[in-house]
Amino acid sequence: MTLTSLPLRHLLPSETPIGLLDADGRLIDGSELTMPGDEVLLDLHRRMVVGRRFDTQATALTKQGRLAVYPSSRGQEACEVGAVVALDAQDWLFPTYRDSVALVTRGVDPVQTLTLLQGGWHLGYDPYELRVAPQCTPLATNTLHAVGVAHAARYKGEDSVALVLLGDGATSEGDTHEALNFAGVWQTPTVFLVQNNGYAISVPMSKQNAAPSLAHKGIGYGIPSLLIDGNDPAAVYSAVRQAVETARAGGGPTLIEAVTYRIEAHTNADDASRYRDSDEVAAWLGRDPLDRLEAYLTGRGLLDDARREAVAAEAEAFAASVRKGMNADVVSTVVRPQSLFDHVYAERTAALREQAAMLEAELAGEEA
Amino acid sequence: MAGALNAAMADALAADDRVLVFGEDVGPLGGVFRVTDGLSERFGERRVFDTPLAESGIVGTAIGMAMNGLRPVVEMQFDAFAYPAFEQITSHLAKMRNRTQGKVELPVVIRIPYGGGIGGVEHHCDSSEAYYTHTAGLRVVTPGTPADAYHLLRDAIDSPDPVIFLEPKRRYWAKGEVAFDRTATPMDRAVVRRTGKDVTLIAYGPMVTTAMETAEAAIEEGWDVEVVDLRSLSPFDDETVAASVRKTGRAVVVHEASGFCGYGAEVAARLTERCFHHLHAPILRVTGLDIPYPAPKLEEHHLPSVDRILDTMARLQWDDVPFENEVRGA
């Protein structure tokens, strides 16, 4: 009996992260990834600039007390944008709490994206409108949902693929392993993108994982796995696009580990200086994904000052719309007290009708 | 009862392509209790299939499938084996409707064979209803008769809300008439199984039979016992149960699970709030002991028995029995 029907080399990731552009934006020769076309690269650039501006705007909103909390994804724009642009309209995105930039890249309204973090409702958008699942706060639970959605899509004869985003810490959770196993056994059209940003809040990779890489975790589940440079937008787009096309064609799941770095702290409530030193952050600032793409596009003559200014203006306008939306009327997103009872069950139970009446009386008393 | 459950799934699978049945060993084996016997043969492995051995995976993928338009009916095999899926059940299955302001509906049924009385080893006999009834967003039902097994499961599969379907495994072999005409009592209503005027015995799942046996035995004591079968643990049918207790003025709640913070405490509190001026005695509970589920050779001392229920009823301040301020059986 042979151990596996798949040759091991088909499952094995590379020893070091592969990419298309080096840290200075120079094309890497002989990469096994396919370089995206110029239109895609320009689109990635534009969306990364807008995404970063959104991220800094949201961070600023926490300082003004407009947001209760914001987990920044600054430095991870290549993953956030590259992965989403690689999806088609019929595909599903399963984001985590850190993936707000991925949401706005997908086209979710920025104010609705921030509802969860604002303390209004848990979710501001309709998950079916753009096929974006609710952002996952408990780690790794969304991986199973993505496998289920993908399985149902195939059952119904749809050709949609589910992309699930998770972090390095989430790979330690049991659900990640159950999801990889189910996806491998069922051969669901699911793409797992691990954004390895170095830290699970404060716990570094060295205390999280003993495997050669997180991508190696795919081998045991029979899932082809890739280790890529997560600060290279061309590489993220190319790897995710390839995995999505493979899944759509019936080739089953792929695991991609994208090595990147979280420039800001875990959230605005975290003090990152307690667990990492400034030299490390400075080194990663030198590997900025946006600078890298700009350098490449400028060198190719695809990005000139006029386009750069146009993109910057678009980002400013976007940030202004976020500010305006967040400042306009916070009350409208903090819902009516009676709506507390609206979505517990399909219909209110007798007990909830009783409690609704009690609340009604309390509110009337307050007004009197 | 196992046959009624099997028929309910078969009929639901035949009626609606969106219904899927899956879990551990539910395929060709037909489940460890044979409740899914023959279903994969009849409907094919696309509709009825075995999964990897992973409860969180089963519930988590069921959530995804339901998000995308299917109606999964999954099995947890044994009560305590469902605990690895607890996060998926409480944080996602129960809350997705609420988290998404009603946009995402999860019509998932989780079948859990539960309770003791079959000589099972540890982790195979828990009564875990309180964990689920405490969680808003879930419906929790449990049949006490074969007829209810069929109708409650059909209703659960049709429900737009997620349902925890607790199957009293010691009653799998119980016999009874089942009418398949789908005009049975709605899922969230309790039923009076036996009318009486002196005391109401409130039971559900495996204890319905025990309560009925107790009512027969109580005739010798001169007590005319009414038995209410809750059927739906969440939501709770205050109306039916309170009407019975107002009539009899006395009530005993019976369940297998431990008493402390148990489901009976909720029932007793609700009835006290609603029926206080009709009560001749405090509402008492007969429950499992406050211990981890015991080894098979000791379970008879843990589980409520007819004698223990009769002993407790004797404390209900009948005219000739002084109340000794004890709230539990001997």
pLDDT tens digits, B26-81: 999 999 999 999 999 999 999 999 999 999 999 999 999 999 999 999 999 999 99
Burial B144-179 (b: 16+ CB within 10 A, else e): bbbbbbbbbbbbbbbbebbbbbbbbbbbbebeeebe
pLDDT tens digits, A288-317: 999 999 999 999 999 999 999 999 999 999
Side chain identity at residue A129, one-letter code: E
What confidence score (pLDDT) does residue B322 get? Answer: 45
A149 → chain B, closest CA residue:
B64
Using the predicted structure, report yes or no on whether residue B98 has a pLDDT greater than 90.
yes
Contact indicator for A200, A167 with CB cutoff of 8 Å: yes
CB contact under 8 A, A185 and B239: no
Side chain identity at residue B21, one-letter code: V
CB contact under 8 A, A145 and B64: yes
What confidence score (pLDDT) does residue B118 get? Answer: 94
pLDDT tens digits, B104-132: 999 999 999 999 999 999 999 999 999 99
Query: Average of pLDDT values for A66-86?
Result: 96
Q: Kindly report the average pLDDT of chain A as a whole number.
A: 94
Query: Considering only CA atoms, which of A25, A23, A81, A24 is closest in space to residue A52?
Result: A81
What confidence score (pLDDT) does residue A254 get? Answer: 98
Q: Which of A46, A275, A307, A348 is catalytic?
A: A275
A101/chain B closest Cα distance in angstroms: 20
Using the predicted structure, report yes or no on whether residue A1 has a pLDDT greater than 60.
no
A266 part of the active site: yes
Q: Which residues of A touch B136 (CB under 8 A)?
A: 344
CB contact under 8 A, B235 and A145: no
pTM for the model: 0.95
Using the predicted structure, report yes or no on whether residue B196 has a pLDDT greater than 60.
yes
Using the predicted structure, report yes or no on whether residue A357 has a pLDDT greater than 80.
yes
Q: What is the rounded CA–CA span in Å between residue B165 and residue B233?
A: 10
B92–A contact, CB cutoff 8 A: yes
Q: What is the rounded CA–CA span in Å between residue A273 and residue A277?
A: 6
Residue of B46, B58, B67, B163 to mutate for A, most A C-beta atoms under 10 A: B67
Using the predicted structure, report yes or no on whether residue A121 has a pLDDT greater than 90.
no
What confidence score (pLDDT) does residue A253 get? Answer: 98
For chain A, give the percent of residues with pLDDT over 70.
96
Token pair 């069922």: residue: A186
What confidence score (pLDDT) does residue B102 get? Answer: 95
B62–A contact, CB cutoff 8 A: yes
Q: Answer whether the bond into residue B186 is a cis peptide, omega within 30°.
A: no
Identify the band that residue A244 occupies on the pLDDT scale cut at 50, 70 and 90: very high
Using the predicted structure, report yes or no on whether residue B18 has a pLDDT greater than 60.
yes
Query: Average of pLDDT values for A157-183?
Result: 98
Using the predicted structure, report yes or no on whether residue B245 has a pLDDT greater than 60.
yes
B222–A contact, CB cutoff 8 A: no
CA atoms within 13 A on the CB side of A362: 8
Identify the band that residue B323 occupies on the pLDDT scale cut at 50, 70 and 90: very low
Using the predicted structure, report yes or no on whether residue A361 has a pLDDT greater than 80.
yes
B309 φ, ψ (degrees, to nearest 5): -70, -40
Residue of B65, B71, B139 to mutate for A, most A C-beta atoms under 10 A: B65
CB contact under 8 A, A148 and B63: yes
What confidence score (pLDDT) does residue A336 get? Answer: 82
What confidence score (pLDDT) does residue B121 get? Answer: 92
What confidence score (pLDDT) does residue A154 get? Answer: 98
A45 part of the active site: no
Q: Kindly report the average pLDDT of chain B as a whole number.
A: 95
